[in-house]
Amino acid sequence: MQKVYLDNAATTQVRDEVIAKMQEALASFYGNPSSTHSYGRSAKTAIEKARKTIAKILNAQPSEIIFTSGGTEADNMILRCAVRDLGITTIITSKIEHHAVLHTAEELKREYGISLQFVDLDENGNPKLSHLEELLLQDGAKKLVSLMHVNNEIGNIVDIDAIGKLCKDHDALFHSDTVQSVGHYPWDVQNTPIDFLTAAAHKFHGPKGIGFAFIRKNSGLKPMIFGGSQERGFRAGTEPFHNIVGLEEAFVKAYDNLEEEIKIVRNLKSHFVKKLKREIPEVNFNGLSDDLEKSTYTLTNVRLPFDKQKGLMLLFHLDMKGIACSKGSACQSGSNLGSHVLNEILNDEELEKPSLRFSFSKYNTLEELDYTIAVLKEFADS
């Protein structure tokens, strides 16, 4: 049986260079970065080097990079602190955001009584910018807009510059969950109208448990986690030094090889989409996930022409054949409620058909994709 990993939107294989860097850190630089002796100073120096490296690639200032445990913490921190510290009384988002944003916004509505508004989506799942502008114009409330750059389930890419400009024109703050795009697309935060973004290392071949928030200088946000003075006092707690150097290495390798790896992965997706359409002509793609220009090159979301009963066995069948994929994000794939993203953009008849997310990386091969499609076709014909 072949083993094929096509769930890279959930997490990615860690690069060998990252593992080596982390092993070295664990073995040789184990001092507490807050300690003043040489062991601590060595660790602290490496953390600040990582911060500067990431900032340089993003065209940010080192002080604007705050290390977190990942994207979920970073999203929570930004939204919560914006309401608590900046007087935000309205959050505008969409119903297909990651739950790290949606559930945080819902909780803030319960705790603080803020207004929670949802921008309308078109038939493909993209936010309607005309409706966003209407919401921004509604009243004089202080607003924060939170819209993800690349949707983690259907891969749609929103126009980050157009959204940012609208926010700037109407004095609203703009946060974007960029977990699926940082490490996969170039970023220049000084020339992008955005106030906050979030990233997670394990989405671009780094370790789990580490990420960062970009928080624009002089934002006014105050700490959410209290204790020591780590992260310039913004996030207390002893820094996971080995994870931070792993994040740095993964980030550098992602951007050093970005053009080449985009070409490799884009070719994989193109091959998969074309061949799947040829082998199973009745297949459909959710959102714009078969469009290589309007969706990310890293994933596609496939709706297969099987009835509900047969569809219940599909993921199990693929797993038995050694193929790893998902029916939605890994965060909700165990839920019986189905995908909240697909529930928003598909009708009842379409929702009866099984949908799967296949996501790709540089470690995949055309042969693996051909095997996966052969397994799907065999299942369709059975």
- Active centre residues (catalytic): 331
> For the chain, first and last CA: distance in Å?
19
| Residue 272 near residue 300, CB atoms below 8 Å | yes
Can you tell me the distance from the alpha carbon of 117 to that of 94, in angstroms, rounded to the nearest whole number? Answer: 8
Residue 93: helix, strand or coil by DSSP? strand
| Nearest-angstrom CA–CA distance, 309 and 352 | 9
Please state whether beta strands 299-303 and 284-285 pair in parallel, antiparallel, or not at all (unpaired): antiparallel
**Token pair listed for 307:** 């009835």
**CA-closest candidate to residue 358, choices 258, 276, 259, 255:** 276
Nearest to 73 by CA among 210, 246, 265, 261: 210
User: In sequence order, what are the beta bridge partners of 61?
Assistant: none
User: Apex CA 152: angle with CA 170 and CA 276, to 5°?
Assistant: 130
- Counting every residue written for the chain, the total comes to 382
